[in-house]
């Protein structure tokens, strides 16, 4: 392999690693800041706030006596409180009696529990904040639905719509709201060009336009068949196995009918047609009722052939939508874990650090908005994972605090050591399994 082949691969690898480190650093910093700030508010003193582990690259001491540092290994972080024997806040060393209230062990139970819970909660807050900001930035489609700009389509696509056209009807059927648009397409005649009744300059007129949902690539899922084959956002699929198509539903039907057999796609890109071959993969997809369905997919998401004009969404509605997105991620993730444990869906749905790093790079390559959205999704996942009732994790510490609240005494030091060792074993086992998924079982 010559240098011209090595350099692009190295550049892609480096981009993936940098994207992963940036995403993880943001999430860890927010998580640990939650521990730090709530601990400070609760009267617990933080000696060290570290982003990363290992040798310290940079540090400074603030006026409260907390050392803020960046370490060489950027795959995590920690807050070490006064009296902690280590960064995991397990065990303690002696402090002066007058300082005991400022330690984790000497603080009231409510202060310790609030400090521990703050990390995952701050992850959830970060997710909602990002989701809300993106929704506010994007806005919502104007009502009535109004044509703004068309996405590039092949030259044979009929396009007579103009910016500012209000869509009154399509093929004689009243135009649905944007939320119902995708399901309403089933009632339209399956034809490459349709009549669009539009209100233009105050008068209604009929013009020709393409099928509302053409086989236009709006997004490509990382580690999917389409991603591995080189399909890009903006591509238009014009044929499957030599059969011309003009609707995204035709692409879905062809992939489903393949039953995993390789399909050949004709792709229009930048004025030229290229051919890509790929094998659909079985994927487990969450449904609204919490269950899952298994389908053959190539990893392409479609959308309307145009961008509608948008209006500003009310801030409170955006917050509710952001919180709803977080709730969907949490509930579908928990449901997915339950289905994996029972064997209802494949364990390949569980990604390890390698898979997450690859996804980070892929989302960053698709643009800032995709990467920022991914950070929000990953932050939600990290917050949820940390609440699992496993010793070593925040959820395990909360279980210990609940025990103390019920029995009026903390677990014994011996019990804590045994449980911590068991928890660490569980975490390492899950990590090894996830890495094996990434490298061997589900490459």
Alpha-helix runs per DSSP H in 303-352: 315-341
SS3 20: helix
User: Rounded to an integer, what distance in angstroms lies between the CA atom of residue 304 and that of residue 148?
Assistant: 12
Give the integer Cα–Cα distance in Å for 361 and 356: 9
Cα separation, 19 vs 361, in Å, equals 5
8 Å CB contact between 121 and 34: yes
- 168/75 Cα distance (integer angstroms): 53
Task: Give the Cα separation of 43 and 61 in Å (integer).
Answer: 19
User: What six digits make up the tokens of 379?
Assistant: 């932050």
The residues, ordered by sequence, that sit 6+ positions from 285 with a Cβ below 8 Å of its Cβ are: 292, 293, 294, 295, 297
Residues in the chain: 443
- Confirm whether 307 is a catalytic residue: no
Peptide bond into 396 cis (omega under 30): no
Residues designated catalytic: 32
């Amino acid at each position: 392999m010559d240098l011209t082949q090595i350099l692009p691969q190295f550049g892609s690898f480096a981009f993936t690693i940098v994207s992963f480190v940036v995403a993880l650093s943001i999430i860890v910093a927010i998580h640990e800041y939650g521990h730090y700030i709530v601990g400070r508010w609760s009267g617990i003193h933080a000696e060290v706030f570290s982003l990363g582990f290992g040798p310290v690259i940079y540090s400074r001491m603030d006026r409260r006596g907390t050392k803020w540092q960046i370490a060489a290994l950027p795959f995590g972080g920690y807050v070490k409180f006064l009296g902690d024997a280590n960064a995991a806040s397990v065990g303690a060393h002696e402090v002066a009696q007058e300082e005991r209230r400022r330690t984790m062990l000497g603080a009231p139970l409510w202060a310790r529990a609030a400090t521990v819970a703050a990390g995952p909660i701050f992850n959830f807050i970060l997710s909602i904040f990002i989701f809300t900001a993106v929704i506010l930035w994007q806005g919502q489609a104007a009502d009535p639905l109004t044509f703004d700009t068309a996405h590039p389509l092949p030259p044979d696509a009929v396009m007579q719509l103009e910016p500012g056209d209000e869509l009154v009807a399509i093929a004689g059927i009243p135009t649905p709201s944007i939320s119902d648009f995708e399901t309403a397409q089933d009632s339209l005649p399956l034809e490459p060009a349709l009549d669009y009744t539009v209100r233009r300059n105050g008068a209604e007129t009929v013009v020709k336009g393409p099928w509302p949902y053409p086989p236009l690539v709006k997004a490509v899922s990382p580690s999917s068949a389409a991603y591995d084959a080189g399909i890009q956002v903006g591509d238009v699929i014009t044929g499957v196995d030599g059969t011309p198509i003009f609707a995204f539903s035709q692409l879905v039907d062809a992939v489903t009918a393949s039953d995993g057999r390789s399909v050949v796609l004709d792709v229009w890109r930048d004025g030229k047609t290229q051919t890509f071959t790929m094998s659909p993969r079985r994927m487990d997809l969450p449904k609204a009722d919490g269950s899952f369905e298994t389908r053959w997919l190539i990893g392409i998401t479609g959308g309307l052939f145009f961008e509608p004009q948008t209006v500003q969404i009310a801030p409170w509605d955006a917050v509710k939508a952001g919180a709803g997105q977080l709730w969907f991620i949490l509930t579908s993730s928990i449901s997915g874990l339950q289905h994996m444990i029972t064997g209802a869906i494949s364990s390949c749905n569980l990604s390890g650090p390698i898979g997450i790093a690859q996804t980070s790079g892929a989302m960053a390559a698709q643009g800032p908005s995709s990467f920022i959205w991914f950070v929000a999704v990953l932050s939600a996942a990290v917050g949820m994972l940390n609440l699992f009732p496993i010793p070593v994790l925040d959820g395990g510490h909360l279980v210990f605090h609940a025990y103390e609240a019920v029995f009026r005494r903390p677990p014994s030091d011996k019990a804590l050591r045994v449980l911590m060792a068991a928890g660490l074993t569980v975490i390492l086992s899950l990590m090894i399994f996830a890495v094996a998924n990434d490298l061997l079982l589900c490459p």
